[in-house]
Chain A
Amino acid sequence: MDTFVQQIINGLTVGAIYALIALGYTMVYGILRLINFAHGDVYMVGAFIGYYLAFALGFATGPSLIGLGVVLIGSMIASALVGMAIERFAYRPLRKYARMTTLITAIGVSLLIENLFVAKLGAAPRAFPQLLREQSYTLFGNAAISKSQILIFGVSVVLMLLLQWVIFKTKVGTAMRAVSFNLNSAKLMGINTNMIISFTFALGSALAAAAGVLTAQYNPQIDPLMGIITGLKAFVAAVLGGIGNIPGAVLGGLLIGIAETFVVGYGQNVGIPTTYRDAVAFAILILVLLFRPTGLLGSTVQEKV
């Protein structure tokens, strides 16, 4: 029983990270109908900004909660700017062309960021400074939860509630919903759509950066290619939950995280090797798309002829 609970905790930790990143995919898709493939790399950029901030501000020497807060928020702000810059310089000039053009540009931006980092910093993994004094708390039996896991849960929940508040309770959130409903009508109603799109990228990128810094407390190994697989799985999570749907992204992230951990933890008992972890995430995607093409929480959109 304690092993089962432990695996659920492990799965939720990984899932919370996927969920944070998936939110960015889903918000951008909701507004622009664009799969921003560079989003996984923003997560990586966030982790690296955190890494350099920690050293520059002198927090790398020892654990400190203030340091962690400063690094987390600093990295979120800087990454928000990175996200806005990507939108401004790579996607906005192409907005009037076919959607495929922007999609391919997104893949290009992703490769550009990855290889720029490899060229400048090298592909060798770096050790992220530990800003949290690591400690485990026993729940019952053998089941334990570590401080970094509590941190991941806590921060993710706060960020998700904050996002919900921004989208449903603020003026800019109302504008975001209007733009996602119909970009041209929103523009006619006097909404500065460019500003709103920019804001959406900033929000998504900040969440991805938070995921980057949090995951680095849990697993201190960061490298320029860490965003590829994680980003891809977060994308799967977003599609699984119903792309464009915000609670769906969270649900999808948590489901993928738990599914993966269960494959690793119990797969061998039923003859599925541990290495099928990634394959299972994508197999789930295919199954969901076969039976519920709009994802778990996605609504069917009537195509007008």
Chain B
Amino acid sequence: MKRILVSLVLMTSLLASFACERRGGIGGDSNVGVIRVGYYGDLSGRTSNFGVSTKNGVMMAADEINKAGGINGRQIEILSEDDEGRPEKAATVVTKLIDQDKVIALLGEVASGNSLAAAPKAQASHVPMISPSSTNPAVTAVGDYIFRVCFIDPFQGEVMAKFAANTLKAKKAAIMQDFNAPYSRGLTEFFEASFVKLGGQIVTKQSYTQGDRDYKGQLTSIRSLNPDVIYVPGYYGEVGVIAKQAKQLGITQPLLGGDGWDAPQLWELGGDALNGDYISNHYSVEDPSPAIQKFVNDFKGRYKIVPDALAALGYDAMRVLADAIKRGGTTEGPKLRDAIAATKDFAGVTGVISINGERNAVKPAVVLKLQDGKYIYQETIKP
């Protein structure tokens, strides 16, 4: 009996000390001191080009804001976590960022599947999360604390369908989708719907999964049906190889893709085989507007590489968040949430950002042509 009593006392005191720690922790919400923002992304996994690039954009924006005196006099600190591109890891690191590091807001992820895994925690903890570039509609549908600063897949799929049907005059399209990626399946669905509405026909839908070594089986089937274009809404790692194997089979029709293609490594894998293909994307580095050129030059000066769309979106996500903190004058979850939701006509690098009722950004998309390692601007398609 005595032993039980002692252990009870011990347990209570232990719990009490935890409780104290929680209350006394940093960022336990005051409106002074450093603003801690969490970033999570794939920094070492299969899609690490995405995570690293986005982080570069986020860091550059944060440094610029800090140099200009911070937000209402407060400096920003970015706490970065690597989720290795795995949904289960994304959920874990976000839990750490929220519970342990007490961040006031989250930036991430790129891949929709990872954002979907992390969003419920942010929603439950009332910590606003802004995804720079997850385009699957389901991401912001998780709850009213989840935002994004990019367009969504129904629009991106429609853009490519319009471009294929109107500009390329395609009548028959084949689709090759990454079966396990919500991103790819979403785009497939929306491309198909729009393309059929515009009078086109989908002759076949083939699938692959990330990490496959050989795509010639699917490509041979596609070749036998002789489509005008082949829509491959996948991620760069697989797409580069698909383009290469398609050319080996003598497929000359253009491949069409989405923003998931945009990474420097695409060219290492695909090389010349990518020439003549088209992608939809968030912005074009060739855009002559002064704001974009300033961003591109600053980024080049800092990282010695051309910023891809993900870097630009990371940059915009950080600035939208900073703008909301400034307008709301607080970092408290619910009030910050309202301030982000009220973002209107924010001049971002990737276009003018207004957050709509579904917490998505309403923005135009650009279509780019791939040629010798460059993305050549074709046209802008408005929502």
Q: Are B265 and A6 in contact, CB atoms less than 8 angstroms apart?
A: no
Taking the closest CB of chain B, its distance from the CB of A4, in whole angstroms, is: 9
Cβ 8 A contact of B217, one of A124, A215, A261: A261
Stretch at the interface among B107-115, B143-151, B242-250: B242-250
Q: Is the CB of A268 within 8 A of B204?
A: yes
* Contact bitstring A1-34, B, C-beta under 8 A = 1, else 0: 0010011001101100000000000000000000
Q: List which A144-199 residues lie within 8 A (CB) of chain B.
A: 144, 146, 148
**Chain A interface size, under 10 / 10 to 19 / 20 to 34 / 35 or more:** 35 or more
Cβ of B244: which chain A residues have Cβ within 8 Å of it?
Answer: 134, 219-220
Alpha-carbon separation in the docked complex, A218 to B214 (Å): 8
Task: Indicate whether A104 reaches chain B with its CB closer than 8 angstroms.
Answer: no
Tell whether, in the assembled complex, residue B249 and residue A268 are in contact, meaning their CB atoms are under 8 Å apart. no
What is the CA–CA distance of A255 and B211 in the complex, to the nearest angstrom? 21
Report which of A124, A219, A264 forms a contact with B48, defined as CB distance below 8 A: A124
Cβ of A142 within 8 Å of any chain B Cβ, yes or no, is yes
Q: Among the listed B45, B217, B265, which residue makes an inter-chain contact with A265, where contact means beta carbons less than 8 Å apart?
A: B217
Interface segment, B123-131, B220-228, B299-307, B374-382?
A: B220-228
Complex interface: chain A residues within 8 A of B179 (CB): 274-275
DSSP majority for the A interface?
A: helix
* CA–CA, A10 and B212, complex, Å: 14
Q: When the two chains form their complex, are residues B211 and A138 in contact, meaning their CB atoms are under 8 A apart?
A: no
Contact assessment for B46 and A123 in the assembled complex, using a CB-CB cutoff below 8 Å: yes
Interchain CB contact under 8 A, B207 and A261: no
B49 at interface (Cβ–Cβ under 8 A)? yes
Report how far A121 CA is from B250 CA in the complex, Å: 35
B268 is an interface residue with CB less than 8 A from chain A: yes
How many chain B residues touch A (CB < 8 A): the figure is: 39
Contact B46 A124, beta carbon cutoff 8 Å? yes
CB of B217 to closest CB in A, whole Å:
3
**Which of A224-232, A237-245, A286-294, A296-304 faces chain B?**
A224-232
A215 to B245, CA, bound (A): 13
Q: Could you say which residues of chain A place their CB within 8 Å of the CB of B249?
A: 6, 136, 144, 146
Instruction: Contacts A3-B224, A274-B207, A274-B218 given; indicate if A134 touches B213 (C-beta within 8 A).
Output: no
Which chain A positions have C-beta within 8 A of B221? 3, 264-266, 268
Asked if B44 is at the interface of the complex by the 8 Å CB criterion, the answer is yes
* Contact residue among B46, B84, B250 (Cβ-Cβ distance under 8 Å from A125): B46
- CB-CB < 8 A to A123: which residues of B? 44-46, 48, 84-85
Q: Assess whether B217 is in contact with A264, with CB atoms less than 8 Å apart.
A: yes
Question: In the complex, what residue of chain B is closest to A9 when comparing beta carbons?
Answer: B216
Pick from A14, A122, A125, A265: contact of B220, CB below 8 A: A265
Query: Which residue of B has the minimal Cβ distance to A2?
Result: B224
Residues of the A chain whose Cβ atoms lie less than 8 Å from the Cβ of B85: 123
Cross-chain contact of A127 among B209, B216, B218, B269 (Cβ < 8 A): B269
Of chain B, the residue at the smallest CB distance from A230 is B213
Q: Is A130 an interface residue (CB 8 A)?
A: yes
Q: How far is the CA of A260 from the CA of B214 in the complex (A)?
A: 10
Contact flags A45-77 to B (C-beta < 8 A → 1, else 0) = 000000000000000000000000000000000
Contacts of A7 in B (CB 8 A): 217, 220
Quick one: given A125-B46, A220-B241, A274-B208, are A261 and B216 in contact (CB under 8 Å)? yes
Q: For B221, give the chain A residue with the smallest CB separation.
A: A265
Q: How many Å from the CB of B289 to the closest CB on chain A? A: 33
* Pairwise interchain contact B250-A138, C-beta atoms closer than 8 A: yes
Q: Which residues of A contact B80 (CB under 8 A)?
A: none
- Chain B residues with Cβ under 8 A from A261's Cβ? 214, 216-217
Closest chain B residue, CB of each to CB of A264 = B217
Inter-chain contacts of A14 with B (CB < 8 A): 213-214
Which residues on the B side are within 8 Å of A136 (C-beta)?
Answer: 247-250
- Chain A residues positioned under 8 Å from B209 (CB to CB): 275
> Is B237 engaged at the interface, CB distance under 8 Å to the other chain?
yes
Q: In whole Å, how far is B192's beta carbon from the nearest beta carbon of chain A?
A: 15
CA distance A275 to B176 in the complex (A): 12
Decide: B211 and A219 in contact? CB cutoff 8 A: no
Complex interface bits, A258-297 against B, C-beta within 8 A gives 1, otherwise 0? 0011111110100001110100000000000000000000
Complex contacts, B237 vs chain A, CB 8 Å: 124-125, 221
In whole angstroms, what is the CA distance A123 to B82 when docked?
Answer: 12
Selected from A144, A264, A273, A274, the residue in CB contact (under 8 A) with B250 is A144
A to B CB contacts below 8 Å, 26 in the list: A3-B224, A10-B214, A10-B220, A14-B214, A118-B44, A122-B45, A123-B46, A124-B48, A125-B269, A127-B265, A127-B269, A136-B248, A136-B249, A142-B224, A142-B250, A146-B249, A219-B245, A223-B211, A225-B211, A226-B211, A226-B213, A265-B217, A273-B207, A274-B207, A274-B208, A275-B209
Q: Show the binding face of B for A, using Cβ within 8 Å.
A: 44-49, 84-85, 179, 204, 206-209, 211-214, 216-218, 220-221, 223-224, 237-238, 240-241, 244-245, 247-250, 265, 268-269, 271
A contacts, CB < 8 Å to B: 3, 6-7, 10-11, 13-14, 118, 122-125, 127, 130, 134, 136, 138, 142, 144, 146, 148, 215, 218-221, 223, 225-226, 229-230, 260-266, 268, 273-275, 277
Q: Kindly list the 10 A-B residue pairs having the minimum CB-CB distance in the complex, ordered from nearest.
A: A264-B217, A127-B268, A10-B216, A146-B248, A3-B224, A274-B207, A124-B48, A261-B217, A122-B44, A265-B217
